[in-house]
């Protein structure tokens, strides 16, 4: 998981948060206008319709907003959540002064991860129309508020946790019950919450040198408690768990790509090629070059 700075075509500085949620790669795009109040901007011709390549999420905290589509005009009220899908021509307007809303934009793509429940496919099925609307639900408002704070504070880890929760709640409201119970269990049971947070932090940030202190702070636990949880569920130390996850990713890159060993080492968080070779041989009892040859031979 990482955060970078880039500029859109209006040259406005935008933060980009990238993280994986099971088989979905999510990129949240945000600027300083994530949470804001608007003045009345209705005019006779509604302005010019436009579209985005990303999903545009709105939540109405106060007042009303109107979204004009090519063949439809819809008014949304307090506690409504709206997601406008990519390449949908629209223009967003306010219908009264002082309208207050959250606005978060995101991209979504599928990745090759084995999962009992495909969040990506379920979300794509939910986003087949020009827009999605869940009316009058304060739960979303509380969750969006936390996401806005995560964005403002630059906290990609917490943002990924809250985005996952948002996705599950949205699928539930949209009637995608198959598999949702399994995914929801991950964020409802207290022990599973801890495990899920731990997995999100470690398994989506494997290339970073994240300390146990950092993880404990994010989970509101002591370092000792986090170490005990890792030992209980994984039977190893934190460093061993990070190394195992890095080696898993390295093995997949060796099998599926033609990246050099040096590039794979760098992508999995190793600044020393010697350290990468040491951990790899310990995990697979062979060198990376041997592993790649065997994988190609078995594939043929």
Give whole-number Cα distances, 20 to 111, 198, 226, 264, in Å: 8, 14, 22, 19
Domain termination site, one of 185, 200, 220:
185
What integer pLDDT is reported at residue 251 of this predicted model? 92
Claim to verify: residue 31 and residue 136 sit in the same structural domain: yes
Claim to verify: residue 132 and residue 207 sit in the same structural domain: no
Claim to verify: residue 160 and residue 16 sit in the same structural domain: yes
Claim to verify: residue 81 and residue 166 sit in the same structural domain: yes
For residue 99, the domain's CATH number is 2.60.120.10
289 close to 281: Cβ distance less than 8 angstroms:
no
Claim to verify: residue 142 and residue 260 sit in the same structural domain: no
Claim to verify: residue 198 and residue 61 sit in the same structural domain: no
Buried b / exposed e along 103-129 (16+ C-beta atoms within 10 A): bbbbbbeeeeeebebbbbebbeebbee
Give the gyration radius of the chain's Cα atoms.
22
User: Any alpha helices (H) in 51-155, and if so which ranges?
Assistant: 119-126, 138-152
Please enumerate in sequence order all residues whose Cβ is within 8 A of that of 83, keeping only pairs 6 or more positions apart, or say none.
55, 56, 57, 58, 127, 131, 132, 133, 170
User: Any alpha helices (H) in 84-205, and if so which ranges?
Assistant: 119-126, 138-152, 156-173, 180-185, 190-203
- Please, what is the end-to-end C-alpha distance for the chain in angstroms? 34
What integer pLDDT is reported at residue 159 of this predicted model? 86
How many independent structural domains does the chain possess?
Answer: 3
Domain termination site, one of 152, 185, 218:
185
Task: Please give the Cα distance from 56 to 200 (Å, whole number).
Answer: 24
Locus of tokens 């002591």: 222
For residue 249, the domain's CATH number is 1.10.10.60
Locus of tokens 């598999």: 179
Residue ranges in the chain modelled with pLDDT below 70: 1-14, 31-47, 95-97, 113-116, 176-193, 196, 300
Q: What is the pTM of this model?
A: 0.64
Claim to verify: residue 177 and residue 197 sit in the same structural domain: no
Which residues span the domain enclosing 250? Answer: 239-299
Claim to verify: residue 114 and residue 206 sit in the same structural domain: no
Instruction: Express the helix, strand and coil content of the chain in percent, nearest 5 each.
Output: 45, 25, 35
Claim to verify: residue 248 and residue 112 sit in the same structural domain: no
Please enumerate in sequence order all residues whose Cβ is within 8 A of that of 141, keeping only pairs 6 or more positions apart, or say none.
59, 61, 79, 102
Task: Please give the Cα distance from 141 to 79 (Å, whole number).
Answer: 7
How far is CA 239 from its chain centroid? 24
103 close to 41: Cβ distance less than 8 angstroms:
no
Task: Please give the Cα distance from 238 to 106 (Å, whole number).
Answer: 32
Claim to verify: residue 216 and residue 291 sit in the same structural domain: no
Give whole-number Cα distances, 49 to 67, 90, 138, 143, 228, in Å: 10, 5, 30, 30, 55
Claim to verify: residue 115 and residue 247 sit in the same structural domain: no
Claim to verify: residue 108 and residue 23 sit in the same structural domain: yes
Task: Please give the Cα distance from 57 to 80 (Å, whole number).
Answer: 11
Phi-psi region of 220 (alpha: psi -120 to 50; beta: other; left: phi over 0): left
């Amino acid at each position: 998981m990482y955060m970078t700075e880039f500029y859109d075509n209006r040259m406005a500085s935008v933060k980009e948060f990238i993280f994986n949620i099971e088989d979905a790669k999510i990129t949240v795009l945000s600027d300083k206008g994530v949470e804001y109040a608007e003045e009345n901007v209705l005019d006779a011709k509604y302005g010019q319709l436009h579209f985005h390549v990303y999903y545009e999420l709105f939540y109405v905290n106060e007042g009303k907003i109107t979204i004009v589509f090519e063949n439809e005009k819809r008014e949304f009220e307090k506690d409504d959540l709206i997601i406008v899908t990519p390449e949908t021509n629209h223009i967003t307007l306010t219908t009264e002064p002082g309208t207050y809303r959250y606005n978060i934009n995101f991209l979504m793509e599928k990745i090759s991860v084995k999962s009992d429940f495909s969040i990506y496919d379920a979300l794509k099925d939910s986003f087949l129309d020009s827009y999605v609307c869940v009316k009058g639900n304060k739960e979303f408002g509380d969750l969006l508020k936390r996401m806005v704070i995560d964005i403002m504070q630059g906290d990609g880890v917490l943002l990924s946790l809250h985005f996952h929760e948002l996705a599950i709640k949205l699928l539930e409201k949209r009637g995608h019950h198959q598999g949702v119970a399994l995914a929801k269990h991950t964020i409802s049971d207290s022990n599973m919450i801890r495990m899920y947070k731990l997995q999100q932090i470690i398994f989506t940030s494997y290339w970073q040198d994240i300390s146990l202190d950092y993880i404990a702070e994010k989970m509101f636990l002591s370092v000792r408690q986090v170490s005990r949880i890792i030992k209980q569920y994984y039977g190893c130390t934190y460093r061993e768990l990070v190394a195992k996850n890095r080696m898993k990713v390295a093995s997949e890159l060796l099998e599926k790509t033609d990246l050099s060993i040096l590039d794979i080492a760098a992508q999995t968080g190793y600044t020393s090629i010697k350290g990468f070779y040491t951990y790899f041989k310990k995990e697979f009892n062979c060198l990376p070059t041997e592993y790649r040859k065997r994988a190609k031979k078995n594939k043929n």
